[in-house]
Amino acid sequence: MTETRAVVIEREMAFPPNRIWRALTQPQLISEWLMKTDFRAETGAAFTLSGDWGAVDCVVTEIEPERTLSYTWAAFGLQSVVTWTLTPTEGGTRLRLEQEGFLPGQEQFYQGARASWPQLFDKLEAVLARPHDS
Where does residue 88 fall: left (phi above 0), alpha (psi -120 to 50 degrees), or beta otherwise?
beta
* Sites in the chain below the pLDDT cut of 50: 134
Cα 32 to the center of its chain, rounded Å: 13
Please report the domains of the chain, with CATH numbers, ordered by start residue. 5-129 (3.30.530.20)
pLDDT of residue 1: 62
pLDDT of residue 3: 87
The DSSP secondary-structure symbol of 38 reads -
Residue in 37, 5, 8, 43 with CA at minimum distance from that of residue 117 = 8
Mean pLDDT of the chain: 95
pLDDT of residue 53: 85
Q: Kindly report, residue by residue over 1-36, the tens digit of the pLDDT.
A: 678 999 999 999 999 999 999 999 999 999 999 999
Q: What percent of the chain has pLDDT over 70?
A: 97
pLDDT of residue 134: 46
Q: Model pTM?
A: 0.94
